[in-house]
Amino acid sequence: MALVTLDDLRDAQKRIAGVAVRTPLLPCPWATTDGRTLHLKPENLQPTGAFKIRGAYNRLSVLTGAERARGVVAQSSGNHAQAVAYAARELGIRAVIVMPDTSPAVKVENTRSFGAEVLLVPMEERDTTPARLAAEHGYLWVPPYDDPWIIAGQGTTGLEIAEDATALDLDLRTVLVPVSGGGLISGVAAALKLTMPGVRVIGVEPELAGDAAASLRSGERQVWPFADTHRTIADGLRTNALGLLPWEHVRAYVDDIVTVTEDEIRAAVAVLARRGRIVAEPSGAVTTAAYLYRADLLPPGRSVAAVVSGGNVEPSLLAELLAV
């Protein structure tokens, strides 16, 4: 499988300009520790509340007129769902989104608000239903991560990190990226390795959904039961395996993947809200959790950047985490 190129990434950056927000690198003086500094990449500020708009818009924007007329179908626990719905509305394309019936209500409501038809199914049917709908109705399937256009779109996050680190004269050594199906870390790692080869890219995922870490350790792509990955509070990271194309990118470009506990994720959400003034969903807080609580597993170096991948958290859950 061909890896995305620097040209692919830069073309995606041009397509999404004016649609996706160019989020800044935010300094976090409250997180300076042992001579190490943290900058956050707040993708929770995107129009749909997460980085997914980058890949979704990049993918839909290259569809032909005939493909757009067919409509699209996608599956997601929430953030890809909202991104595809938003991008489809912007481009005048019909969108049908398959979501697990355990998806946070806020993500379901937001997806519908962008004009998409939402079908709620049991988790085990989430990834098989789109193929059936595509066969029955002719929809074009927009996968959440196993697609070069999606990966290139998500990789624009990495291009921005590299550009801003250079502009700020940061001695950036480590970039932390959440891992689910692998679209985000694939694109970010490719972008950084192709523009800043000395930077180490570290993935972060929950211990309860640590399939990617296990895959990297063993050298073989592993598939975990949904019953296992579904235990984590980080609903956006419950995917049970890396995609096939993301796995090739991870093997080529990712230096390591570390895991964090549920307590560490919960604590990081609260820290980001109280100290960073950033609303992060648990999936988006895993990188901050790694910086705060797993520093011994990170490479040496003064400057660290962490991607906060999204902020679509249920208000009741956020209230619970802040109350502790």
Q: Just list the catalytic residues.
A: 52, 309
Find residue 70's DSSP bridge partners.
Answer: none
Q: What are phi and psi of 72, to 5 degrees?
A: -125, 155
- Tokens (6 digits) for 109: 């409501």
Q: List the Cα angle 75/243/115 in 5-degree steps.
A: 20
With the C-alpha atoms ordered 293, 232, 153, 216, is the resulting torsion angle positive or negative?
Answer: positive
Q: Are the C-beta atoms of 85 and 109 separated by less than 8 Å?
A: no
CA angle 278, 24, 324 (to 5 degrees): 15
Separation of alpha carbons 114 and 137, rounded Å: 21
Report the relative pairing of strands 26-27 and 37-42 from DSSP bridges: antiparallel
**CA Rg value for the chain:** 18
Which amino acid does the sequence have at 9? L
Is 236:309 a contact under the CB 8 Å cutoff? yes
Look up residue 260 and give its two tokens.
């964090």
Torsion angle of alpha carbons 152, 153, 158, 159, nearest 10°? 90
